[in-house]
Chains A and B, each alone.
Chain A
């Protein structure tokens, strides 16, 4: 048995495909990406010239980059906080009821598995300036705002709309994670607290919350990475209009800089945005893990 499991040749056959794929499609390109970020891409000759940190200094002065960064950070904070609050609330409510729990759970989770592109188109229509929700508001005599076409304010209205749509779509994920953690807490803990005279809210505050804390870290890092990567929904809802509406996030700006027909093919600059994105992802995960690092309680 031992000999069988130590067979080097077989191990190699089993692991090699995965590792080779990883190296070729993930790790070498990441290295290349960091190198491209330090280069200027010449479209005519299709060559790269090393220019050091030039792309980054250019980005630092780029007003669109500032908007993209601001919007991405807004998404990051909004989704971390709103998903935490809504996810925990829904999880706590769902674990407290018995009838219909699965129904509620499955329905709220449903949008997570649906295509963001499709849902984005749907919401874009609902928040259309003339038809959609505004049509409904008009019938009761309210003239609705232009929803996706307002450009006033530090965080513009479309940002809020899209942030809420994203919350609607993805809160199921956080809810699931918290539910799994809460249902893992032993019932005897709650019974003991009720005998000692604790109310439900107190039990939630002093038993559920501390025991859920490790999961908050996991769920929040998933949210953070997800919101920094945020692309599908915003692209589906606004398409190429992101620039005019000052609605770029890092991912859409990267896409436009690298591949759009207008901005096109600034591979060096786009790679630099990619590097900023990765650094932000790692930083956010690291900070969140620091914040929510706790000892694991015996449950």
Chain B
């Protein structure tokens, strides 16, 4: 056999095409990074050139003008609490559905999975009206509740898959050694399903971090806005402060990009397993 590698024309074409795609995906992000350092006249004059001087103060201005510090804290607060609650409530429900023996387990699963198909928009108005009555509008907890509910189906779904894959013998031997059901869950199954938890956690966090519609509707107080809402405030009907907007965009997407770079393989695998099993 001829071991020498022949470079086929088709392979070259594929690589050229994919490299073009790479440019199409990376160029806007690189460009925004560069533009965020430009002064305002320069943005209008030479939007695509290399910045003549790096104006780091743009970031400080954007941070102050957009109140991004508060927005960031609000986003963190909402997302972290939602994350923790989703993990705990979701995996408990998943464990009961996947491993415990009761007649209505299947029905409970279907009930929860219906939530995957229903768009948030349809419960927007009733929730808004109800929350206004019980003092949850303009309150970060009013965001956490719906976020939590809409994050649960995916979590339950993926975690149920992980719990099912735990071998029966393991649980039986634990049971022999006098393990209670709570110990079985918290000491054995929970740690074993770490990968699943990690994946659902990341997905929940990213999804809620980016959510705009609910945050826009439920919170009107400036001090309680989340990051995506704060971003849209940079565009007003009369003018847009591009020199502040671009740094703000960077501030909003850099954390996600960092997390994505660290865990991209897990995120990607997790998203696919979630959908494939459906």
Q: Which residues in A have some Cβ–Cβ distance to B below 8 Å?
A: 1-2, 4-8, 10-11, 13-15, 17-19, 21-22, 25-26, 28-30, 32-33, 36, 90, 93-94, 96-97, 100, 102-111, 113-119, 121-126, 131-132, 135-136, 168, 173, 176-177, 179-181, 200, 215, 218-219, 222, 225, 228-229, 231-232, 235-236, 239-241, 250-251, 254-255, 258-259, 267, 270-271, 274-275, 277-278, 281-282, 285
Contact = CB atoms under 8 A, between A and B. Distances in A.
Q: DSSP class of A's interface residues: helix, strand, loop or mixed?
A: helix
A113 B111 CA distance: 28
B156 interface: yes
- The 6 lowest CB-CB distance pairs between A and B, nearest first, are A14-B96, A18-B93, A29-B126, A32-B126, A29-B123, A117-B228
Given A19-B108, A254-B124, A117 B231 contact: yes
B24 to A, nearest CB: 7
Interface string B122-156: 11111111100000000000000110111010001
B9 interface: no
A229 B119 contact: yes
B213 interface: yes
Nearest to A124: B235
Given A104-B18, A114-B256, A18 B101 contact: no
B275 A218 contact: yes
A259 B217 contact: yes
A90 B206 CA distance: 24
Given A18-B112, A110-B25, A255-B216, 7 more contacts: A2-B101, A21-B145, A25-B146, A110-B260, A121-B232, A218-B275, A231-B213
A218 B276 CA distance: 8
Interface of B: 10-11, 14-15, 17-18, 21-22, 24-26, 28-29, 32, 43-44, 47-48, 89-90, 92-93, 95-97, 99-102, 108, 111-112, 115, 117-130, 145-146, 148-150, 152, 156, 171-172, 175, 180-182, 184-185, 206, 209-210, 212-213, 216-217, 227-229, 231-232, 234-235, 237, 242, 245-246, 249, 252-253, 256-257, 260, 264-265, 267-268, 271-272, 275-276, 278
A251 B213 contact: yes
A11 B102 contact: yes
A274 B125 contact: yes
A12 B112 CA distance: 15
Nearest to A180: B272
10 contacts: A5-B100, A18-B90, A22-B115, A25-B145, A26-B118, A29-B130, A106-B265, A106-B268, A117-B228, A180-B272
A30 B152 contact: no
Contacts of B276: 177, 180-181, 215, 218
Q: DSSP class of B's interface residues: helix, strand, loop or mixed?
A: helix
A167 B126 CA distance: 32
Nearest to B97: A15
A122 B271 contact: no
B235 A121 contact: yes
B190 to A, nearest CB: 12
Contact of B121 (A116, A181, A229, A239): A229
A285 B117 contact: yes
Contact of B156 (A18, A254, A285): A18
Contacts of A135: 47-48
A116 B256 contact: no
B123 A25 contact: yes
B100 A115 contact: no
A4 B93 CA distance: 16
B87 to A, nearest CB: 12
A222 B238 CA distance: 37
B232 A239 contact: yes
A96 B229 CA distance: 41
Contacts of B117: 225, 281-282, 285
Contacts of B210: 113-117, 232
B155 to A, nearest CB: 9
Contact of B148 (A21, A111, A168, A255): A21
Given A18-B152, A18-B156, A109-B268, A277 B123 contact: no
Given A229-B120, A229-B121, A115 B231 contact: yes
